[in-house]
Amino acid sequence: MQYIITAYDGENMLEKRMEIRPRHLENMTRVKGKVLCAGGILDEEGTMKGSMLVIDFAEKADLDDYLQNEPYIKEKVWEKVHVENMNVVILNGEKVGK
């Protein structure tokens, strides 16, 4: 199942976000091959204010484990985290789903 994770930082978290970012990226490499797309959500000035990930796990328990170990959650950088099921149809210009 694919999931879209949309997460928004708390107020004045940019410095802390950048401090934690290497651990956040390392956590994503822990699930190499599962992250289909990821990046920072930017404000009007181009400053990161959150994150978006499209991730593919066979079991919801794997998603839950990933999120429990996510440094931005553990360190309270992300204030709001929203997870929804997603059906990836096009990936890298290729049809992969229904």
Q: Which domain holds residue 22?
A: 2-95
Structure tokens at 52: 């978006």
Can you tell me whether residue 69 is helix, strand or coil? Answer: coil
Residues whose CB falls within 8 Å of the CB of residue 96, separated by 6 or more in sequence, listed in order: 88, 89, 90
pLDDT score for 86? 94
Q: What is the domain-level CATH number for residue 7? A: 3.30.70.1060
93 backbone φψ class: left, alpha, beta (φ>0; ψ -120 to 50): left
57 residue type, one letter: F
pLDDT score for 2? 94
This prediction's pTM: 0.90
Chunked in runs of 10, what are the mean pLDDT values of the chain (98 residues)? 97 96 93 93 96 95 95 97 94 85
Domain count, the chain: 1
pLDDT score for 91? 86
pLDDT score for 32? 86
95 residue type, one letter: K
